[in-house]
Structure 1
Amino acid sequence: MADRTPDRLNTITGRFALVVVAIIVAVIVALQVSGARIGLFLALSLLPAVIACAVMRAHARDKTALKKSEHRVNLLLKEVEAHHQTERELKKAKEVAEAANLAKSRYLVSVSHEIRSPLNSIYGYSQLLERGLHVSPSDAAKVIRRSSEHLTNLVEGLLDISQVESGVLRISMDTVRLPALLDQIANMFRPQADAKGIAFHFERPEHLPDFVRTDQKRLRQILINLLSNAIKFTPRGSVTLRVQYRSQLAIMDVIDTGIGISQDDIQQIFEPFERGGNPDAHRQKGVGLGLSITHALVRILGGDLAVQSEPGKGSQFTVKLMLGQVATAQPDPSPAESLTGYEGKRRKVLVVDDDPAQTAVIRSLLEPLGFVVFDAPNGMRGFEIAVQERPDLVLLDISMPGQNGWDVCAQIRAELGPECRIVMVSANAHEFQQGRDGRAHHDLFLKKPVELDAILDAVSDLLSLQWVGAASEGGAHLSTVEDLPPLPSAAAEIRAEIERAAIIGHVRGVESAIRELEARFPEAAPHAARLHGQLDRFDLKMLLKTVRAFR
């Protein structure tokens, strides 16, 4: 209580009370001195107290007003600082946007160059052939094919970056002949190094596993990107590909004596469209996607990519990947050029595409193998032919005049049912849907440009065909499952789960889904037994083909 007394006296009421007490004390003293005129004295004494009270109240109001003014000033100062902060952030955002816009402009210029060079080759040789000039058709075809592959790789690189950023990049598990793959890549780059006047060295142990399990396309892409960069940025000296393998761990070093990379640029070079600050790097052709894609692919495959470099002395990129050894395996089969047909009844294929050139390619591929091929330039005509001819397989584009491919797909599925297989073949990669998940109307999605082998793979898988020709001599392209009873319709979701797990190489996921199929549907025991056998051999590609062929 005593601690709060000074605070209470410091209020207006407290001060007024002190003045009154002082006056009363003065009055008492005056009474003791003289008793005359006490009333007048008391009245006159109260007047100063009232005046003092008014003065103290005015002072208090002034003090309160001053505090409010100071508070408002502080608020205004904070608001001004906030505006300055916002201005600084806007300025920084503007600089970032301008830098991004400049990078985009540089990227578009680079992409334009990368696209125009192969297009010029395709355009030039096409005109020479068209005019009947003395050009070897075989040589022209090779140039056109290589240029087309370059364009495809450029587009695929951009798609890979997009898929990595969105988390939908698909990884497959192939049975890969590791020595043959490494020899092939070394032989691919040795002439390039010789042409540039630099030495190319390939070092690998004598004994490598004949077969390993990995995504062959992605492994090839990783090595090609690293070796291509090494040769590109090495004006003199040598480039070395060194491979080591132990305990199922592959260590692949790409070593060059090129321009090198500064420590400040080592992390930057893994960003899309970036080449660091070395002017010599910017003078080289390319769009700056290779290392970004390579870094992402190595991580997705569960590996590690490290780099050691010194400007002016060269660089060493080291890739570490787990490549599981396959003890006894056969290489993944692919349709051979000498295929002559397939076993069983003649199958009908409908191609719906508004581009006659695309239709002509499919017709030229399938008709010599014994397929009856129909074609339609738009969705409406395609649906009419489908109802009339009832094809076994439909190859359907998405972007067409009138109805788009998705609408036509739904109509064909409703009319012909699941017996008609539907493959979406489109350049609309952003609309990719795997299919065969129990919900989609289509069975498979192929992105243009499509390799002819991929089309034959799709036809074989979906129609459960046995090829006739050289391909069938090395092993059936797809073991027939027509002897198995159809799966219950309720098992479609589990079948789709097995397919999804096999595509990404998730062995435990495949095994779990097969066991679930076996437990929920006892009649699917033969199907599960076949899948278990393929899983035991770690043959995920054949397992994938088998599960897609289940009726």
Structure 2
Amino acid sequence: MMVIVIGVCVWMFILASESRKAAMEETQRQTDRLLKEIRAHERTDLALQEAKDKAEAANLAKTRYMSGLNHELRTPLNAIYGFAQLLEKEQGLSDWRVSITSIRRSSEHLAGLIDGLLDISRIEAGRLEISRDRVSLPMLLHQTAAIFEAEAKEKGISFNWSTHRLVPTLVATDEKRLRQILINLLSNAIRYTPAGSVKLELAYRNEVALISVTDTGVGIAPEKLESIWRPFERAGQSGREGSGLGLTITKLLVEVLGGQIDVKSILGEGSTFSEKLMLPSISPSVFDEQPLTDALRAPAFQGYQGPRKTVLVVDDDANHRMMTEQFLSKIGFNVLLAGSADLADQILQEAVPDIILLDINMDGRDGWSFAQGLRAGEWPHIPIIVISGHADEERKSRPRLALHDAFLAKPFNFDDLAMQIAEFLKIRLLLKDAPTDAADDAKQEPIRLSPDLRARLLEAANLGHAGGLQRLIAGMRAENACDPAILERLEARLAQFDMGGIVNILEAANDGAK
């Protein structure tokens, strides 16, 4: 029994020793294999990092090329678009109106395509940004639809757009992105509709806009309804033109704006793209007294109400300076022109403008250094509107928000520029064929004031001394020194801080006591 027990113990010891030896050998083999795999991963990671660096370098080079190409396209396009707007506003060119309008619409369409190229670059870089603008929704619909009316007419299909329920005049959203969504949907609808009609509809309820684009085109097969949102997939037949990125970008933009987009289609009968967007309405300011029907058409400004204002345009492109001066001068602004930042400094020694329109890329000092000098010098409070051919400057300018008050990318709309200026200078733009306050004042009974009181009121109005005006008007009411209806007119102007309107009323006043 002892021998058997000793044999079993020896056998167990030998077995444990052999197992430990085998385990150590297996551990060593696994360790060697892991080391080899780690070295292989390191080589793979190094190759991947090299490929990534090359791809990033290529992508950076492509981004720089697209950015430079974007600027080179926008600069001449701004001249074409700008002069087309000026010619379209001329009354004596009615025979050429259709041709000029076609040039303007084609320029707008080309500007939209350039924005699309830039957006692709931004999407690939993962830095798509959304802004919050004050947008005239009816005007945006009208301007966007006008781009495709001529194209639909040439193709022989009918194109209509309409709104349902009450549509607010102004909403808060990203105007550029909303316009791009509409352009992409309408462009696809007209492209894939050989005959029939295309219809754009908008319904608004509870701060939500439902926009639908319906066509009677080729339609989409059921199995392709999901794939049309993928890059380089075409909604219709594969042989038709198009990059295949329009719907991809559209879906991305709708989702970034917090909305959703759906499609219903029957092959051979047509398609309907519907999107829901949150578009909160806001109270208008520049068009406080203009009806909605005026906003349905592109505004034609004949001037503004209030004292004459001075605008300084700093741009190294002579064509841009010329067309900006022509537009602003016709509205009634005094326009000063400077081809460089140094010349602008010399002008500022002689005259102080009410607002500055500033280009960024100029020979010598650029626009940012000039704006920084203004803010740190004698004119820190002059509003500055930056106008640049580099659309990505808007994103780069975020750290420089203190240097400027607004940003416009070339090519820009002159009416948008006028509304920006009116907002900063607190003036009211006057539409053509619209009644003006000056005309209303002329119909009123002229004011009869003593020379002393009239001079005191004029002095306070010219100084912008609202408190002094309020006390003078209150004293006139207490002493019954003027007709109450006339005092109400003065108080109405004072409530709007319309010093120019008060000056106009007082300058038309007759001497003599009541």
TM-score, normalisation: structure 2: 0.60
Q: Specify the SS of the correspondent of 2:379.
A: helix
Counterparts of residues 72-471 of structure 1 (less than 5 Å): 73-75=32-34, 78-79=37-38, 82=41, 138=97, 141-160=100-119, 165-174=126-135, 176-177=137-138, 192-193=151-152, 195-198=154-157, 208-211=165-168, 214=171, 217=175, 219=178, 221-236=180-195, 238-241=197-200, 250-261=209-220, 266-271=225-230, 274-276=232-234, 280-281=237-238, 283-284=240-241, 286-309=242-265, 314-322=270-278, 330-331=291-292, 336-340=299-303, 342-344=305-307, 346-432=308-394, 440-467=402-429, 470=432
The Cα of 1:396 is off from its aligned counterpart by: 1.6
Inter-partner Cα distance in structure 2 for 1:303 and 1:64: 61
The Cα of 1:380 is off from its aligned counterpart by: 2.0
Does the CA contact (< 8 Å) of 1:343 and 1:467 recur in 2? no
The Cα of 1:357 is off from its aligned counterpart by: 1.0
Change in 2 beyond 3 A, CA 1:194/1:436? closer
The Cα of 1:166 is off from its aligned counterpart by: 2.4
Q: Deviations over 1:350-401 (max 9, x none)?
A: 2221111111112212334443333222222222222332333222211111
Does the CA contact (< 8 Å) of 1:342 and 1:465 recur in 2? yes
**Structure 1: 5+ residue stretches without partners:** 16-55, 130-135, 486-528, 531-551
With CA pairs under 8 Å and 6+ residues apart, which has the higher RCO, 1 or 2? 2
- Matched AA of 2:351: E
Q: Specify the SS of the correspondent of 1:214.
A: strand
- Matched AA of 2:306: E
* Cα RMSD for the two superposed structures: 5.4
**Structure 2: 5+ residue stretches without partners:** 1-5, 88-94, 439-460, 468-494, 497-514
- Matched AA of 1:153: G
Moved more, 353-362 or 370-379: 370-379
Does the CA contact (< 8 Å) of 1:212 and 1:324 recur in 2? no
Change in 2 beyond 3 A, CA 1:410/1:322? closer
Change in 2 beyond 3 A, CA 1:459/1:204? closer
Change in 2 beyond 3 A, CA 1:169/1:309? same
Tell me which structure has the larger Cα radius of gyration.
1
Inter-partner Cα distance in structure 2 for 1:404 and 1:275: 43
Inter-partner Cα distance in structure 2 for 1:229 and 1:341: 40
Change in 2 beyond 3 A, CA 1:416/1:189? same
Change in 2 beyond 3 A, CA 1:143/1:324? closer
Inter-partner Cα distance in structure 2 for 1:313 and 1:451: 38
Does the CA contact (< 8 Å) of 2:263 and 2:274 recur in 1? yes
The Cα of 1:62 is off from its aligned counterpart by: 8.1
TM-score, normalisation: structure 1: 0.57
The Cα of 1:407 is off from its aligned counterpart by: 0.8
Q: Deviations over 1:225-267 (max 9, x none)?
A: 3232112013345545466666665544333343444566545
Inter-partner Cα distance in structure 2 for 1:68 and 1:367: 88
Q: Specify the SS of the correspondent of 1:440.
A: helix
The Cα of 1:147 is off from its aligned counterpart by: 3.0
Q: Deviations over 1:419-451 (max 9, x none)?
A: 433222212222226989996122322222221
Inter-partner Cα distance in structure 1 for 2:281 and 2:21: 89
Change in 2 beyond 3 A, CA 1:85/1:166? closer
Q: Deviations over 1:87-107 (max 9, x none)?
A: 9x959x89x979x99xx99x9
Inter-partner Cα distance in structure 1 for 2:429 and 2:161: 38
Counterparts of residues 461-500 of structure 1 (less than 5 Å): 461-467=423-429, 470=432, 473=435
Q: Specify the SS of the correspondent of 1:166.
A: coil
Inter-partner Cα distance in structure 1 for 2:355 and 2:7: 97
Does the CA contact (< 8 Å) of 2:371 and 2:403 recur in 1? yes
Q: Would you say how many aligned residue pairs link Structure 1 and Structure 2?
A: 407
Inter-partner Cα distance in structure 1 for 2:370 and 2:356: 11
- 1:20 corresponds to which residue? none
Change in 2 beyond 3 A, CA 1:138/1:315? closer
Does the CA contact (< 8 Å) of 1:265 and 1:276 recur in 2? no
Q: Deviations over 1:110-162 (max 9, x none)?
A: x99xx89x98xx79x99xx9xxxxxx765653343233222222223344556
Does the CA contact (< 8 Å) of 1:428 and 1:447 recur in 2? yes
Does the CA contact (< 8 Å) of 1:340 and 1:469 recur in 2? yes
Q: Specify the SS of the correspondent of 2:131.
A: coil
Does the CA contact (< 8 Å) of 2:119 and 2:128 recur in 1? no
Change in 2 beyond 3 A, CA 1:7/1:83? farther
Does the CA contact (< 8 Å) of 1:392 and 1:419 recur in 2? no
Q: Specify the SS of the correspondent of 1:320.
A: strand
The Cα of 1:215 is off from its aligned counterpart by: 5.2
- Matched AA of 1:418: P
The Cα of 1:340 is off from its aligned counterpart by: 4.0
Inter-partner Cα distance in structure 1 for 2:42 and 2:466: 74
Moved more, 358-367 or 253-262: 253-262
